[in-house]
Amino acid sequence: MSEETPTQILKQVEYYFSDSNFPRDNFLKTEASKNVDNYISIDIIASFNRMKTISTDLQLITDALKKSTRLQVSEDGKMVRRLDPLPENIDCGKTLYSKGWPEDTTIEKVQEFFNANGGYKVVSVRLRKKSDKSFKGSLLADFESEEIVNKIISEAPKLGETQLIYQTFKQFTDEKKDEKEAYFASIGDKKRKAKKEADRENGGGGDDDNKDIKEEEDVMVPGVILCFKGVGKGLHRGDIKEIFSQYGDVKFVGYNNDDENGSVRYKTAESCKRALESLTETKKEIGGQIPTYNVLEGEEEKKEWEKILERFKNARNNGGKGGFKKGGFQKGGKKGGFKKGGNFKKVKKE
């Protein structure tokens, strides 16, 4: 037995019962509910794969847990529970989402990385897994404060030469929610189209598709369009969205693959401001280059929103067809977006 083993046992089991893990762990909550005093069998804790790599000695595990200031071992030494009551609300602000980690990533390597890059103490790490249990390359890490999470996102430390992706837990979950809604909306569109075709074949006129189109609110939102100039070559729209999504919900990316200039439109002005401040302060490289940034305002912003709102209107009038298309700002099939130098192209009306 290593001298560090009792410490490792205590650290791991305290994590199981921590505010960051226990409220989300349905298995542990179910086991605790089986006992009137919310105790869980130490045998069950010891059976976890992670615990097996530390120790399988039940007596050693029990003795280590008795030294905890956060846990309580039952009088017969067979069960354990947390001392503090569960928090009423889960504080997600202290949780960081990160993506781009290599396959050999371990909890220890993540803890060492953040300790070496800023001296940040990682409270807990959850490596996200695929259905086959292999590592997805992304993780959730809990820290002692929301300020630390925001600072890491701002600093965006690299793992060697790899630029990792960082987001708050809320940004991550909001994106997943939007993706799910878009998926179910697309299924609904397919069903509506099939019904309309069936109605036509049966001689009916069908329902008005425009009633079912999921529309964006057709009002100008000031301070949400961030322009960038001078990114490196070899980038795609997906790369741009992934980078800028670290700072908030990106509604649209105006960028043609391999261009030097483009824009992103955020859902809120707060996200846009956060992105501008962080990217400017950290001089973050995009495609090996350090771009310059500015938020559209005044007449330039007004003119761009006139184009955006016109496209919303045309999309609704066309039953949801058209509007924004891949490759930047477009209308009627013509390419738009930014010219080099950051100015908008004017699209000639057909």
Where do we find the tokens 């017969």? 76
- Among residues of the chain, what percentage have pLDDT more than 90? 37
Q: How many helices (H) and strands (E) does the chain have?
A: 11, 13
User: CB–CB of 295/273 below 8 Å?
Assistant: yes
Where do we find the tokens 């955006």? 308
Q: CA 332 from chain center: how many Å?
A: 33
Average pLDDT, rounded, for the chain: 81
Sheet holding 71-73, edge to edge: 40-41, 79-82, 71-73
Detail the DSSP E strand segments found in the chain: 40-41, 71-73, 79-82, 95-99, 122-129, 135-143, 165-168, 225-229, 250-254, 261-266, 292-295, 330-331, 334-335
Residue 23 CB: number of other CB atoms within 10 A?
Answer: 16
- Amino acid in position 13: V
- The pTM of the whole model exceeds 0.85: no
Q: Which of 250, 220, 224, 221 is nearest to 237 (CA)?
A: 250
* Distance separating alpha carbons of residues 199 and 206, to the nearest angstrom: 5
- Give, rounded to a whole angstrom, the gap between the first and last alpha carbons of the chain: 79
User: For 299-340, what is each residue's pLDDT tens digit?
Assistant: 999 988 988 888 877 777 765 544 444 444 444 444 444 444
Give the per-residue pLDDT at 89. 63
